Chain A
Amino acid sequence: MRDEPLSILEKNFALEALQAGIRVDGRKVDEARLVDFEFSSTQHGTVTVRLGKTKVLSSVTAEVVEPTADRPAEGFVTFSVDLSPMASEVLVLEYLSSGRSSSTLEEASEIVRFLQQLIRESNAIDTETLCIVAGVQVWAIRVDIHVLDHGGNVLDACCMAALASLLHMRRPDVTIVGNDVFIHSIEEREPIALTIHHLPISVSFGIFSDGDLVAVDPNLQEESVMEGTLSIAVNAHKEVCAFRKAGGAPMETTAIFKCASSAYLRATEVTMQLEKALSKTNNIAIASVKPLEVETTKKSFPLNEHIEGVTAVWKQVAEQQTYLDNEKLATPSHPGVINKTEFENSADESDDEAFKNSDDLLSSTDSDEEMAMPVIARPKGGKGRSKNIK
């Protein structure tokens, strides 16, 4: 990737501060930024992760496909990382001039490779449970990650986002009756979660001063002066799941062991945050399941051609789950946010020609009225912007 547009002064300052044992954003050398998980209230498997100023959106979808011949009883998990042009000016300029430069694609594919090691090869997600009928049908899980805002350490943010969205994801329930496979829609049966065995959290370190200095979770300014990077993925059971030190300045082995311990501490911290954020979403039903009587299920895949006209009669009364409104969900806990507004716009039908509706708008901004909630409007990023993570 092209050089970030930072001045030489800024870069030198970041390096000198590190050498003095402090960081430009006030953190200690072994202190990582706060991470925030924002799960979608309307769609399973969509999450926006904020790691300091870095923002990453991750979305998971599931599809039924045929398995490969050599692994007939396993499903697939594929990752796709999009370094969106909205993430930085450098990316936009590259997008405009040449479509997509090779270095951007390289960086994206490096993140994908690390994600594969982290989640697939460490068996965090059980691909055998994704099997529906061996040799015929399996689930293909696709994780799409979009980097919205590049504020340094995109790799860690992508990994956290991928994991969080996999945990949040719910796939349709499947029933096998004899030789027929019935895939229930989310209205019929509550969708079920994926089987995740452990939570590997990636922690990245920046290497400075020819291997002498190591700082965890480098931000943008620090990334511009770092000479190498080390990423260690640890889970809460103190197991190293993935390790990446690709070139860059050499490090002493003792420093690496120290980083591994530091990574474990960070991983436990992030795991707690993630579980806390997830437990908040579990109290809210996303798809409401109503009591129903089903004559036949929505989809059926007859495997045996001779079986015809099978109708499964399900009589089930599912629990009625309440639907929490979006308003109640998103309580603003961020300082600097004044208020939220949601408008219910409607045209008055009584006047045929003059649609005098501006009165409705004005009345709805009264603070007395329950429905009125003010707009979240933040000043343009940068100066004067209060931190929205406590």
Chain B
Amino acid sequence: MSYEHSSSGRRDGRKSYEIRGFRCELGYLERADGSCKLEQGKTQVVAAVYGHLEARGRTELPDRTFIEVSIRPCQGYTSDYLRLRERELEEVFIATVATELQPRSCVAIILQIVENDGSLMSAMINAGMLALLSAGIPCHWIATSCTVSYRRTEGFLLDPILVEEAEGYATAVTSYSFQGQESDPSQNLIGLSFRGFVCSQDIYFQSLAYSREACKKVFEFIRLVVEKSQALDCGYAEP
């Protein structure tokens, strides 16, 4: 079951199932408990996590931690469209963070969009996850995400850039969970957000399988980043 996009290649020479390279800086901010600056191609997101803060009023839940997500766009104020995306991200992070461990507390995840060149939601989920790890918030699993852009007849593209997203008929943001060293569970889909419609059932299920493999790559990248940062921490002598 090999998959090939239509004969026309992508603008940056990637194949339809290839995702862009990553670049990440953990601990980018001083004051935030955890932070990260993530670049996926030209898409840049800065994520900050303030972890396990005092909960007051609406943020105080008796049985679990309250997760608050805030998306700040590069220009202007958070629009209604972004407020809906905030709710979607909250769903992913509420499932990911081990909220049952610390009730009556609050975790705030703030995402600053620096540049948007496609796959923004996925970049935000990945950046948010790295920031959570940087802050040391206990989580059930590592959440990773990949965006799929569907074409009417030619199939799909993974990790589309902005023009590719605009050309597509539908866009899906798929998030998968990974944990442990040798993780390859059969069912680890934790988030699926759809815009538009997909004609073919085959293409849809195929795209889910491919995006899962892409997310596995993201997971490996995240693990590498954390391992490297741990090595740095151990290497420093305390003043």
Contacts and interface: CB of A to CB of B under 8 A. Distances in A.
Interface stretch (A109-117, A145-153, A269-277, A297-305): A145-153
Interface string B20-56: 1111111111111111000000100010101001101
Interface stretch (B86-94, B170-178, B187-195, B230-238): B230-238
B152 interface: no
B18 interface: yes
Interface in A168-186: none
Given A148-B29, A149-B32, A59 B75 contact: yes
Nearest to A90: B31
B182 to A, nearest CB: 10
A384 B238 contact: yes
Given A96-B59, A347-B210, A381 B27 contact: yes
A19 interface: no
A382 interface: yes
B84 interface: no
Given A59-B75, A345-B21, A380 B134 contact: yes
A384 B233 contact: yes
Nearest to B3: A349
Contact of B17 (A342, A347, A353): A347
Residue among A96, A340, A345, A346 facing the most chain B CB atoms (10 A cut-off): A345
A149 B29 contact: yes
A82 interface: yes
A283 interface: no
B220 A92 contact: no
Taking residues whose C-beta sits less than 8 angstroms from the other chain, chain A's interface range is: 35 or more
A353 B3 CA distance: 12
Given A46-B74, A149-B29, A358-B220, A379 B232 contact: yes
Nearest to B220: A361
B175 to A, nearest CB: 17
B216 interface: yes
Given A347-B210, A375-B225, A377-B25, A361 B48 contact: no
Interface in A234-285: none
A341 B108 contact: no
Contacts of A352: 1-2
Contacts of B232: 338, 377-379
B53 to A, nearest CB: 6
A146 B72 contact: yes
Contacts, number: 186
A345 B18 contact: yes
A55 interface: yes
A96 B75 contact: no
B72 A361 contact: no
A378 B28 contact: yes
A82 B72 contact: yes
A359 to B, nearest CB: 11
Contact of A380 (B27, B76, B225): B27
Contacts of A353: 1
Interface stretch (B96-104, B110-118, B197-205): B110-118
Contacts of B135: 380
A85 interface: yes
Given A357-B217, A377-B232, A86 B48 contact: yes
B112 A148 contact: yes
B53 A92 contact: yes
Contact of A86 (B32, B117, B134, B238): B32
A46 B134 CA distance: 26
A374 B221 CA distance: 11
B25 A381 contact: no
A346 B143 CA distance: 20
Interface in B109-129: 110, 112, 114-115, 117
Interface string B153-170: 000000000000000000
B229 interface: yes
Contacts of A84: 72, 110, 112
B31 A42 contact: no
Given A46-B74, A352-B1, A352-B2, A376 B30 contact: no
B148 interface: no
A85 B110 contact: yes
Contacts of B114: 40, 46, 48, 57, 59
A377 B228 contact: yes
Nearest to B209: A355
A343 B233 CA distance: 23
Interface of A: 40, 42-43, 46, 48, 53, 55, 57, 59, 61, 80, 82, 84-89, 92-93, 95-97, 142, 144, 146, 148-151, 326, 338, 340-347, 349-350, 352-353, 355, 357-358, 361, 365, 374-385
Given A338-B228, A377-B26, 16 more contacts: A53-B31, A57-B74, A85-B110, A86-B112, A87-B31, A92-B108, A148-B46, A149-B30, A341-B221, A342-B23, A345-B18, A347-B17, A347-B213, A358-B220, A377-B229, A381-B27
22 contacts: A42-B42, A46-B115, A59-B74, A61-B75, A82-B72, A84-B110, A85-B50, A86-B72, A86-B112, A92-B110, A96-B53, A97-B56, A146-B112, A338-B228, A341-B22, A349-B2, A355-B216, A357-B216, A377-B26, A379-B232, A380-B233, A382-B30
Interface of B: 1-4, 14-15, 17-35, 42, 46, 48, 50, 53-54, 56-57, 59, 68, 70, 72, 74-76, 106, 108, 110, 112, 114-115, 117, 134-136, 210, 213-214, 216-218, 220-221, 224-226, 228-229, 232-233, 236-239
